[in-house]
Structure 1
Amino acid sequence: MQSNGKHNHLVQLEQIGVKLFQEALKVRVINETTPISKILYDEEMVKAHLSPETLANVPLVSSINSALNRTRRKRTPVLPTSCSFDIIPDL
Structure 2
Amino acid sequence: MSRRRSLEVVMQAELVTVSELVQLSGMRYSTLKYYTETGILPFIQIDMGLVRRYPRLHALERLEEIRSMKDNGMTIQQIVDHYLSESAE
**How high is the TM-score relative to the length of structure 1?**
0.28
* Larger gyration radius, structure 1 or structure 2: 1
Question: Between Structure 1 and Structure 2, which shows a larger proportion of strand residues?
Answer: 2
